[in-house]
Structure 1
Amino acid sequence: MDPTSVSERENVTLTCRTKCTLDPITVYSWYKNGQPIPNSNTSSPVYILFSVSSEDTGRYSCAVEGHEDLPSAEETLTVRYGPKNTSVSISPSGEIVEGSSVNLTCSSDANPPVDKYTWYKVTYKNMSMRHSGQRYTIHNISSEDREGYYCEALNIIGRETIPVHINVICKYDTFCLFFVHCNFTDFILTSCIYKPKILQQCFPGFLWWGWGLS
């Protein structure tokens, strides 16, 4: 195998060699992790992996067709790649009430492993770095923290940045509304009663009330 360690999109050459005398017309079979590689049988002892990806990481071997019970020793291919499948877990999960704390944890698949996790906050004015490290705790969270946070995963190959959505609900504000209950007789208004009602409503947001007939 040449080379045995590559970055994604590079090529790898596998060469099958033996000291045995082979038939002039020989077919070679190729294997990955002990399983045949589909459509890989060749009449040449050379097999090329073009533009490899992280999925090509594994152990490779070869054999002569008809003698698959005598495979070669395995060679291991290592593929380096930048962060991918980056995700953020939020604790506690679900709704986060304003004023409480929330823990964010960023994870990513990368080879070599991620060197650095960085947390950013983007507002309509600018973008600022808030924390360096895989875990980030936001204290005294507010409704403005719902959106705008990003986690960036970085290694020597590349980086990946993903947005974070935090389900923040604001504290309940108590206010008083007057409900109007009206009576109609034959579609003629006969009376109305004003009833004060104490409500709890979370802002920002709008609550729409309609008028009903009783």
Structure 2
Amino acid sequence: MMESWIWIILVVMPGTLSAYSVTFETPNVCAVRGSSVEFRCSYNYTAAETVLKTEWSKGELKDGKWTRIELSKLILYENRTQYIGDQLHDCSLAIHDLQDNDTGYYYFRFDTERYGWRSKKSVYLYFTDLKARVNPNPVRRGDNVILECGTSCQLSTAVWFKDGHPVAKPEFQAQTEDAGKYSCAVKGQESVQSDPVALDVQSPPLNVSVELSQSGQLSEGSSVNLTCSSVANPAADNYTWYKSTGSPSSSSQLLQVGSGQVLSIPSVEASHTGLYLCQARNRLGENNSTKVLLTVDSSDIQRVILLVGIGVKVVIILLLPLVIVWIWRRCLKSAVDEEEHSHDYENISTQPAGQKNRVTQREMPA
């Protein structure tokens, strides 16, 4: 009995209890499900003592009574808690892969060879959801966009991702390529991201172009389709076709020749030759394509000339060897004839003069 009284006196002696304390850096901790959290904690005791045991507990209501249960005895926390403090003065605790059941009050206790000290205060853990917001949304191309990561508590710096790729800045001027799905996360815990939100970047028609179903010079009577395409959000809903007979760089007057995304000419004529362009429009604006040249061959003369030219070349190629052979034979024959004539003259000139005279006399009439 006397020993018990002595122990009580020692406990209540001024300056004895003041040496024992547990301090939580953040009594209320807000975290995101699936992430990790740290309870920063410190504790003190008299210098003559040595800490033999440290333990974190969670408060639960059992049978109507508030009870502290050691985390080491709860299967729910198996392999998810990590004591990152020491047995001197640091009592910090980390909990990984946070789950809904982790919400609640947490306490710390340490034992020396003389006393066991439990914290009267606690750390309260609760969860928040990350909600990504894009402001404004939808946005027009060229307007400023601000990304906001909404939570029910104050978290550290938020980081952003677009279609899974990091975003450099949470504020920017929207361009067409910025359209996509954005999500946010807490810096250092990027593996846990918010549900994505889509950014809709709207713009008038861009990159308007015209494609011809047939390229090159067209023959009269053939058909051709001119198709207009563009990049627009919302999609272009109005197309107008214009024709100009000037050069691609001229500013001559344009004549409207049709409407719709496809300009169809079932039977082209010489009058269809010229420069064509398409104007695409949506509710945000309009843009023109570059001019495209459509050329129609007005007659078959050029084709006939081309065919005749080809035929002449073929004939020349085929007849040239014959001509060469014929010329060669002519030359050869001329050389032979010349040789024969030259031989006859020599034979005649060698006859005796008297014989020549006799022949002449027989030829005289009687």
Q: Structure 1-normalised TM-score?
A: 0.69
| Counterparts of residues 31-110 of structure 1 (less than 5 Å) | 31-37=161-167, 39-40=168-169, 47-49=170-172, 51-110=173-232
Maintained 8 Å contact 1:88/1:104: yes
Q: Is the 8 A contact 1:121 1:128 kept in 2?
A: yes
Asked whether the 8 Å contact 2:210–2:277 carries over to 1, the reply is no
Q: Write the mapping of 1:140-179 to structure 2, written as runs, cut at 5 A.
A: 140-143=267-270, 145-162=272-289, 163-173=291-301
Q: Once the 2 structures are TM-superposed, how far is the Cα of residue 61 of structure 1 from its aligned partner?
A: 1.2
Question: Paired residue for 1:14, among 147, 151, 173?
Answer: 147
Higher strand proportion: 1
> AA paired with 1:150?
L
* RMSD of Structure 2 on Structure 1 (CA): 2.7
Deviations 1:70-125, CA, capped at 9 Å, x for gaps? 11121111011111122222123444213322111111111001011111112357
Alpha-carbon distance between aligned partners in 1 of 2:151 and 2:223, rounded to the nearest angstrom: 64
- Identical positions, percent: 38
Q: Which runs of 5+ in 2 are unaligned?
A: 1-133, 247-251, 311-366
User: Cα distance 1:114–1:174, how it changes in 2: closer, same or farther (>3 A)?
Assistant: closer
Between structure 1 and structure 2, the one with the greater Rg is 2
| Residues 20-79 of structure 1 deviation map (CA, whole Å, 9 limit, x = unaligned) | 553xxx332110012112x34xxxxxx222x21111111111111111111112111101
1:89 and 1:98 map into 2 onto residues whose CA distance is 20
Counterpart AA for 1:32: K
Which aligned segments of 4 or more residues in structure 1 are displaced greater than 4 angstroms?
Answer: 174-177, 197-200
Q: Which sections of structure 1, spanning at least 5 residues, go unmatched?
A: 41-46, 178-196, 201-214
Structure (1/2) with the larger helix percentage: 2
Q: Distance in 2 between matches of 1:146 and 1:69?
A: 62
Aligned residues: 170
Q: Check conservation: 1:151, 1:164, Cα contact below 8 A.
A: no
Question: What secondary structure does 2:171 align onto?
Answer: strand
Corresponding residue for residue 58 of structure 2: none
Equivalent residue, structure 2, for 1:5: 138
SS in 1 for 2:136: coil
CA contact (8 A) 1:174 1:198 kept: no
